[in-house]
Amino acid sequence: MAKRRKTKAKPPTRRPVLVPRHRATHRRAETLDLNRCERFLQHEARLLDEGKFDDWLALFTPDGSYWVPSEPDQDNPHETVSLIYDDRRLLETRVRRLASPRIYSQEPRSRTSRIVSNVSIEDGDNNACTVRSKFLMVEYRREAQRLFAGTAVHRLVQNDGLILIASKRVNLLNCDAPLDGIVVPF
């Protein structure tokens, strides 16, 4: 029987590990361009469709507002009644109610699907901008389907590289028509 020669194992080749000299604690500020804003609005729509209302609330600044006027071209939420006018505290209450298993107006829960399109930046700079978009929301509940359409106007701000909603205005196409209870945010 022939003896096998033992071969020496080659030592593993080591590649140098590159370690950054300085780790940033903040994200690099990116510009609020159209592509980034559109992706943000699609992300917001997805959170709402999936019923992740706490995550949706986290998109708002501490002084953020959410407004759905009751008249076309309404200038001010204080001059006339609005369908919805929530500051941060009322937004938190709305989200807490939506999370409650005892919310009668959502028994059974609504299922929604949103489409966001025609996104444009109205004004702004690298840290804040006003974004206008068209939306279509279908709500299905109790074997009935409702359709909502309109224009959304977001005031977006950047904080440590994250985009947040300073204000959101939803101009429903039929805002002055009789509407049954609106519970799910647009």
Residue 27, Cβ neighbours under 10 Å: how many?
Answer: 11
As a whole number, mean pLDDT of residues 145-153 equals 96
Query: How far is 58 from 93, CA to CA, in rounded Å?
Result: 13
Give the per-residue pLDDT at 19: 36
Give the per-residue pLDDT at 21: 39
**With contact defined as beta carbons under 8 Å apart, do 70 and 173 qualify?**
no
Which pLDDT band holds residue 141 (cuts at 50, 70, 90)? Answer: confident
As a whole number, mean pLDDT of residues 60-79 equals 95
Tokens, residue 70 = 């009751």
Model confidence at 18: pLDDT above 70 = no
Query: How far is 185 from 48, CA to CA, in rounded Å?
Result: 7
Which tens digit of pLDDT belongs to each residue from 106-133? 677 789 999 999 999 999 887 899 999 9
Tokens, residue 77 = 């939420």
Give the per-residue pLDDT at 61: 97
Write down the pTM of the prediction.
0.80
Which pLDDT band holds residue 139 (cuts at 50, 70, 90)? Answer: very high
Which pLDDT band holds residue 98 (cuts at 50, 70, 90)? Answer: confident
**With contact defined as beta carbons under 8 Å apart, do 71 and 136 qualify?**
no
Phi, psi of 94 (to 5 degrees): -60, -45
Residue 156, Cβ neighbours under 10 Å: how many?
Answer: 24
Query: How far is 59 from 22, CA to CA, in rounded Å?
Result: 29
Which region among 12-21, 95-104, 125-134 has the lowest average model confidence (pLDDT)?
Answer: 12-21
Give the per-residue pLDDT at 182: 87
Give the per-residue pLDDT at 16: 42
- Sign of the Cα torsion 105, 94, 78, 119 reads negative
Q: Domain segments of the chain: what residues?
A: 34-172
Structure-token match 């033992």, residue found:
6
Is pLDDT larger for residue 162 or for residue 103? 162
Q: Which CATH number applies to 34-172?
A: 3.10.450.50
Which pLDDT band holds residue 144 (cuts at 50, 70, 90)? Answer: confident
